[in-house]
Amino acid sequence: MSGYSENSKFIEAFLRKVASGRDFTQDIWVEREVKRQGEGGEVTKASSSSQKIIGKQIHNLTQLLEDDLDYCFNRGRFVFRFITAIAGSGKTALLSYFRELIKIDNDRSKYSIIVSFDFSAKLHPSSNIQEFSSKFYSYILAETLWKVLTNEEIKPVAKYVLEELIGKNNFPVLEQSRDFEISFLGKFNKYIKDVNIDWQDVFLRVINEISKINSQYTFIYLIDELDDALRKCEDQDQQEIRGVFKSLTNKISSQDYNDEVRLLIYMAGTSDILSKFINSESASERRFSTLSISLGSGLSNEFHKIREKINKRIESAYNNCENFAEAFCKIQEIDNKVQSKLQTNMRVLGNYCRDYALAALEIYEEYFGDKSENHFQGSAKQLTYLVDSLCQDSWKDYLNQPEYKLQLEKTTNNSDEHIFKCYAKLLKHGEIVASAYGGSRNYELLSVYVDKFIQLLEKSNFKPDDHNDTPPNIAFIISPAQCSSFIKNKLISKKIQLINSSEITMNTVTSNSSVSTQELVPENKSSIDINMANHDALIKVFKNTNIGRSIISKIIDSRPYKDIEDLFSKVKGIGVERRKTLQDKLNRNEICFRIGVFISYNSKDKSEVEKIISNLKENKISYWIDEEILGGEEIRKKLEEVIKDDNLWAAAIFYGNNGPGRWQDVEISALFRKYLKNDHPVIPVVLKSCKSDPQISPFLENHKYVDFRKRSQDQYDFLVRSIKRE
């Protein structure tokens, strides 16, 4: 499989999942602060199972859950908790998140038996406590034994217990249905309906017997919707349920066990119902109130972090699209609309995520529904360089042998091609012996994309390990951002490398790279701008070279420069060796020559703008103006080319009495996209001739003006400082 040709709709799928409001969405998970029980505010409150101090040793929800996991898995202790929350504030998501924390740890995942179910759907309170206890334990025991039967190491325990419960003759029939959970549970219930035993004792004995085989096995029960069952219960029924939970905790706390059981139970429900359930009896209150995790409805910083996770992905995926700036302005307005709506509803994370994603999805469909996502913030050649460098490094032991050769596949800027692609092949005597599969997305990776990539990788017969001296295949995904711990562990488990494109510098160049590195290495974001840097910055960048203080002073005096050749022609005393030093610094992106400011104006205001440009020259600020467009060049194309140039630093948008010029709307839209992406200065400048309110673009209406209707010299200085960001 050389490539994947379907249109990329991963951002859309992500927004639809968040908008559905169902379950845990790992792509927008944010850390939630935790405080001690009894403290004020809307923050999540809890106590530590291991008696660690909340606020000092445990600060957030993940640390709290990890503490429970450590206490149970590593220290072999019993954990029992109620998870209480306002509807929509994350109780179900917490249970799913907890499962993920177990899954991403290989040892935990290997040695855990996890049972999840909705209490109200599976269990109904009965008229007496003994009958309900039997239902509760027989159900969780059936689920446990069904899972244990699929594990060869501990299967003998399940076989022995089932033969004792239902008889040796019935066991083969039950075992035949172990591949189908519903069939297994149905037959199990049929066989045990007349069995009268202490089900709690059988349940704990199963755990104990499995621990004798391997003490690492841990039993996890994640039970949701307890509140739905309690709503249907009379007080007496609730008393029966409390009795079952108290009996279990009493038994495990007794001398028989001393809490030394690798058993963890989370019971989740809405805070109004569960609080009443826990506190309506003094004995239950004393026992269970400190065992609760009370989820807060949501803090402002939590809303902000979720919003940023959505916005940044949309921006990175579509910031090169036409009308992106207009769309992104609308996206940034969503928060105010959602917040005002939430003032009349309960302000909880679930509602906020749903409403925000729905609004973002509507804007997405209007502006980006037929567009492909950005895959890489660079050229096809740059991407080829990355692949070449990666393959050279991964296959270096083979490429040092003459019979091996690296063959790079042709790479284009078609985004959908880079969802999944075979980028390179390793040849031995002209025959393919290994392949390099990869993908690229220009945003923080989404689980829906990673799952698709893994699916396509498996279809390609991916073999990541060398065998009998056969070279291994390579798999990688390129992204400019760190990914979540869930995705990182998933990639590691599948032996897929994550390449962070934002961290790529000249240091990644290998001596064997067959691609021109000078052309392909992305710009170092910390490059020193020769046109704008102060004396100290230049001293630092040229430290321990033949570019001394006197040459640096000459460089500063003769600024600005269009490029390095312009510097060579203006600065006297730069011989061959110093030219080589400067060129090497430029090649390594340690220095650069930025255009100080792009001049956007109405040609009718030209004479007034030229006076301001003269002042910029005096202050050694380089600029670009449309007079540099040559005859025969396409104006729009040239404007976009200049604006997209990484060496353009700032832009000044001039507004006079004649209103915006013909090309200014085009310029402003493109400049605003760049401003959003790189945080470069885009400065509205109001000319002295402007007699009425300036017709400032909606994109810039929140930006502070430089206003030449005020005292001119002050505004000249202010403009210079605004460009330099001083």
Determine, yes or no, domain membership for 46.
no
pLDDT of residue 510: 36
What CATH number is given to the structural domain containing 241?
A: 3.40.50.300
Peptide bond into 560 cis (omega under 30): yes
Report the pLDDT averaged over residues 253-261. 91
Residue 651 belongs to domain with CATH number: 3.40.50.10140
Separation of alpha carbons 320 and 665, rounded Å: 16
Which residue, chain included where needed, has tokens 């699929």?
A: 150
The amino acid occupying position 151 is N
Distances (CA, A) of 95 to 24, 227, 244, 436: 8, 15, 22, 38
Q: Among 469, 499, 520, where does a domain finish? A: 520
Tokens matching residue 295 = 């989820």
Cα of 435 vs its chain's centroid, Å: 28
Per the rule left: phi > 0, alpha: psi between -120 and 50, beta: everything else, 572 is beta
Radius of gyration of the chain (CA): 33
Read off the CATH number of the domain in which 509 is found. 3.40.1340
Over 60: is that where the pLDDT of 39 sits? yes
Q: What is residue 450's predicted lDDT score, i.e. its pLDDT?
A: 95
599 and 587 in a common domain: no
Q: Mean pLDDT throughout 675-685? A: 75
Is 334 in the same domain as 448? no
Is residue 20 one of the residues assigned to a domain? no
Q: Are residues 540 and 495 in the same domain?
A: no
CA distance 680 to 67: 44
Query: For the chain, what is the domain count?
Result: 5
Express each pLDDT in 314-352 by its tens digit: 999 998 888 898 999 899 888 877 766 655 455 678 888
Domain boundary among 547, 575, 592: 592
How many angstroms separate the CA atoms of 364 and 357, rounded? 10
pLDDT attached to residue 7? 61
Pair (385, 514) in one structural domain? yes
Is residue 2 domain-resident?
no
Lateral strand order in the sheet of 682-686: 623-624, 595-600, 648-655, 682-686, 706-707
What is the Cα–Cα distance from 695 to 705, expressed in whole angstroms?
12
Taking the CA of residue 310 as centre, how many other CA atoms within 13 Å lie in the half-sphere pointing to its CB? 31
Statement: residue 288 has pLDDT above 60: yes
- Global confidence as pTM: 0.66
Judgement on whether residues 182 and 74 belong to the same structural domain of the protein: yes
Amino acid type, 516: S
Instruction: Round to whole Å and give the CA distance between 344 and 348.
Output: 12
pLDDT the model gives residue 675: 62
Q: Are residues 179 and 287 in the same domain?
A: yes
Helix, strand, or coil (residue 428):
strand
Residue 592's SS3 state is strand
Q: Could you tell me whether strands 263-270 and 431-440 are parallel, antiparallel, or unpaired per DSSP bridges?
A: unpaired
Give Cβ neighbours of residue 24 (< 8 Å, ≥ 6 apart): 92, 93, 94, 95, 96, 97, 100
Residue 263 lies in a domain: yes
pLDDT value at position 472? Answer: 93
Cβ atoms of residues 599 and 625 within 8 Å: yes
In angstroms, the CA 616 to CA 625 distance is 13
pLDDT mean over 673-694: 79
Residue 5 banded pLDDT, cuts 50, 70, 90 = very low
Domain span including residue 351:
300-367
Quickly count: other Cβ atoms within 10 Å of residue 259's Cβ.
16
The whole-number pLDDT of residue 296 equals 84
Which helix or strand (DSSP H or E) is residue 431 part of?
strand 431-440
Pair 669, 326: CB distance under 8 Å: yes
Cα separation of 182 and 177, whole Å?
9
How many Cα atoms within 13 Å fall on the side-chain side of residue 436?
25
Alpha helices in 115-198 (DSSP H): 119-122, 129-148, 155-166, 171-176, 181-192
CA distances from 44 to 30, 61, 62 (A): 13, 8, 12
Same domain, 491 and 607: no
Is the distance from CB of 118 to CB of 250 less than 8 angstroms?
no
- Verify that 228 and 125 share a domain, yes or no: yes
- pLDDT-derived band at 42 (thresholds 50, 70, 90) equals low
Is residue 26 a part of any domain in this protein?
no
Residue 234: per-residue pLDDT: 79
Dihedral sign for Cα atoms in the order 325, 327, 330, 331: negative
Q: Residue 6 has what pLDDT?
A: 57
What rounded mean pLDDT belongs to the chain? 85
* Pairwise CA distance, residues 296 & 44, whole Å: 4
Nearest to 326 by CA among 681, 678, 670: 670
Tell how strand 44-46 and strand 34-35 pair up: parallel
Residue 35 resides in a domain:
no
Are the C-beta atoms of 27 and 14 separated by less than 8 Å? Answer: yes
Rounded Cα gap, residues 301 and 198, in angstroms: 50
* Top-confidence residue, 519 or 13: 13
**Would you state the pLDDT for residue 70?**
94
In 270-348, which residue ranges form alpha helices assigned H by DSSP?
A: 271-279, 282-288, 300-318, 324-342
Do both 552 and 478 map to the same domain?
no
Q: Is residue 202 part of a domain?
A: yes
Residues 484, 445, single domain; the answer is yes
| Beta strand pairing call for 79-85 and 112-118 | unpaired
Token pair for 307 = 């919003």
Would you say 451 and 417 are in contact if contact means Cβ atoms under 8 Å apart?
Answer: no
| 305 and 262 belong to one structural domain | no
404 half-sphere exposure, CB direction, 13 A CA radius: 18
The CA distance from 628 to 635, in Å, is 11
Same domain, 494 and 351: no
Q: Are strands 591-592 and 421-428 parallel, antiparallel or unpaired?
A: unpaired
pLDDT digits (tens, 9 = 90+) for 109-159: 999 999 999 988 877 655 454 577 888 999 999 999 999 999 999 999 999
Handedness of CA 428, 434, 439, 444 (dihedral sign): negative
User: 33 lies in a domain?
Assistant: no
Domain end, chosen from 566, 592, 618, is at: 592
